[in-house]
Amino acid sequence: MKTPVFSGSSVAIVTPFTENGVNFKKLEELIDEQVAGGTAAITICGTTGESSTQSLEEHAAVVDHCVKYTAGRIKVIAGTGSNDTLAALHLCQEAEKSGADALLMVTPYYNKTTQKGLIAHYTYIADRVSLPIILYNVPSRTGLSFTLETYEELAKHPNINGVKEASGNFALLSSTIAALGDDFNVWSGNDNEIVPAMSLGAKGVISVAANVIPKQIAQITQYALAGDFKSAAALQLRYLDLINSLFIEVNPIPIKSAMNIMGREVGPLRLPLCEMSEGNLERLKDAMRKSGIL
């Protein structure tokens, strides 16, 4: 049995930027809001944190600042994935030095690899760090998905704690939980699938929507962990339009737009990400109004 890195809701937190770099003071404010909202863990420098447009040095500095500022109040999961195994290892080792609680590692993208390559990539890194690793399966962005057989092989490694499943493939999710049980933890990677995933045994969610509704996402997971799926489903459905609207353009374009509309001042997106189209922006605002956050 592997103790899950966290149970409940982890926010995939945005990185607030200025024109010249990271707004660390604003990041501190966002972290405080998550702690107050009942979030179980901060996932820093993931996709939502625009890690792909951060230099290795900036990336490491953001993780380090987050760990030091949280000061043990909340767990910190550092996004450290790359399509370059050595670059990923470097980020993992820097996060470990900073005192992060765990690592989130997306599958290699663009150059991708084979299932054999996935096993080699993750094993190489897991052999060289001591922190628990959460795999990240998001084929819509990487063009590559784990198979059940690869999960079964990687689950044998003591440092591989589980997976953030954002494939939308419930056959894979259910088969994985059935085959591996508590020896390999699963978290939903999609906000619109929290309740069905947890009903099958997922331990929670790594959430984009928690940036704007942290208490509600945390409450959905707490209902589900307590076995009250009726209440969890009702709350998920209440915010479903908002959740879906946060993905009408490439993440994190809508979530940062929503936060700026709310006056949260998280700053600009970094190219190649750009401002939302006018039509989608109006749809997002409408969903925000209906949900009560605007």
Tell me, what DSSP letter sits at residue 137? E
Q: Over 216-230, what HEC string results?
A: HHHHHHHHHHCCCHH
Please tell me the predicted confidence (pLDDT) of residue 183: 97
Position 235 in a domain: no
Number of domains in the chain: 1
Position 51 in a domain: yes
Please tell me the predicted confidence (pLDDT) of residue 193: 98
Position 248 in a domain: no
Position 12 in a domain: yes
Please tell me the predicted confidence (pLDDT) of residue 184: 98
Position 269 in a domain: no
| Active-site residue, 223 included | no
Position 206 in a domain: yes
Residue 203 belongs to domain spanning: 8-226
Amino acid letter for position 61: A
Position 287 in a domain: no
Phi, psi torsion values for 161, nearest 5 degrees:
-85, -30
Active-site entry in 26, 164, 203, 256: 164
Mean pLDDT by 10 residues, the chain (294 residues): 97 96 98 98 98 96 98 97 97 98 97 97 98 98 97 98 98 98 97 98 98 98 98 98 98 98 97 97 98 95
Sign of CA dihedral 215, 216, 221, 225: positive
CATH number, domain containing residue 45: 3.20.20.70
Position 288 in a domain: no
Please tell me the predicted confidence (pLDDT) of residue 150: 98
To the nearest 10°, the Cα dihedral for 133, 138, 143, 144? 40
Residue among 191, 142, 138, 147 nearest 171 (CA)? 147
Length of the chain: 294
User: What are 167's two structure tokens?
Assistant: 């494939």
| Active-site residue, 122 included | no
Model confidence pTM above 0.95: yes
Strand 102-106 to 204-207 pairing: unpaired
**CB-based burial, 235-247: b 16+ in 10 Å, e otherwise:** bbeebeebbebbb
Active-site entry in 122, 136, 223, 239: 136
Whether the Cβ atoms of residue 5 and residue 205 lie closer than 8 Å to each other = no
